[in-house]
Structure 1
Amino acid sequence: MKATRMAGHLIRRLHQKSTQVFASKLQQEGLDLTPVQFSAMDAIRSVPGLDQAQIATLIAYDRATIGGVIDRLEKKGLVVRTVSTKDRRAREVRLTEAGNELFQKALPVVFNLQNDILDGLDDVSRDVFLKLIETALREDKA
């Protein structure tokens, strides 16, 4: 089997395409977010008051580097961290009004660019592909 036909190589190339499409489409709209920042904001919006470790778990991101993602969102004025009432060592993260507004502007753009990532597939093939990825990523294959 040629290396260029191996799953890891093809996944890396698709990830590169996904990241490029995401950056290009958001930049066209004047929106300054990375895919990970968008995912973190989606988690924060869905479950306000999460701490950084919970955000990392929810978006399947490295716990050691999520702090930098949250730092950048905070510097942009998109999130605010406060001391947790449940655990004084933890910081709860919430979207600011500006963060919520930016997320609402980005959401339809991100939704619409999904087809551009898999533009070589028809609707049926895209659905099958996404189901296969979900199956491959499922951790509890029991």
Structure 2
Amino acid sequence: MSKAPIAPELDQLPGYSIRRLQQIAVALFLQETEVHGITPVQYAALHTVCRSPGIDQRTLAAAIGLDTSTTGGVIDRLEAKGALQRSPSEHDRRVRLLTATEEGQALAKAVAPAMLRAQERILAPLPAKDRKEFLRMLRVLVEANNELSRAPSSGI
């Protein structure tokens, strides 16, 4: 007597497909940005600091959906590359404010075209008319489930 399957095939499960797409997105990003030596998470941090100079580490972590300890490591690596600098807050000496250096701003600007190519490659298999709708549906899922994340994003 054959047993019924416990669950549908993996490729029928949204979580499995989302995880695979995330792996593919990282691979495409790294291919496109290889000459710059930056990861997707480092780019997200650098991009956010460039747009919000003087942001503190906790606010940055919330903005990009990372826990503060992971964000600390990302900042350490960007600081070691000369892309970011930390400075103490005038109001709270325990808080470090982040700013992009000239090198960091140049790196963010240089990486942007490659990052955009990676985004285009992610969506390339979809018909052009479906891409905006796909992104809209992704945002609905992310926003509706944001609080379930280990590190909910504030999306500043």
Measured against the shorter chain, the TM-score band is over 0.9
1:11 matched to 2:52? The reply is no
Output the CA distance in 1 between the equivalents of 2:39 and 2:19: 17
1:93 matched to 2:113? The reply is no
SS at match of 1:80: strand
- The correspondence for 2:44, drawn from 31, 34, 39, is 39
1:112 match = 117
Percent identical: 35
Q: Could you tell me how far 1:88 is from its partner in structure 2?
A: 1.1
Provide the TM-score with structure 2 as the length reference. Answer: 0.85
1:20 match = 27
User: CA-to-partner distance for each residue in 1:62-83, whole Å, 9 max, x for gaps?
Assistant: 2221100000000011000000
1:75 matched to 2:47? The reply is no
Which amino acid in 1 is paired with 2:136? Answer: K
Q: Could you tell me how far 1:86 is from its partner in structure 2?
A: 2.2
The CA RMSD over aligned residues, in Å, is 1.5
Q: Could you tell me how far 1:138 is from its partner in structure 2?
A: 1.2
Output the CA distance in 2 between the equivalents of 1:77 and 1:61: 22
Q: Could you tell me how far 1:124 is from its partner in structure 2?
A: 1.7
Report runs of 4+ in structure 1 exceeding 2 Å deviation. Answer: none
Q: Which has the larger radius of gyration?
A: 2
Q: How many residue pairs were aligned? A: 139
Which of 1 and 2 has higher RCO (CA within 8 Å, sep 6+)?
2
Which residues of structure 1 form unaligned runs of 5+?
A: none
Output the CA distance in 1 between the equivalents of 2:39 and 2:142: 22
Output the CA distance in 1 between the equivalents of 2:67 and 2:22: 17
- The correspondence for 1:133, drawn from 134, 138, 149, is 138
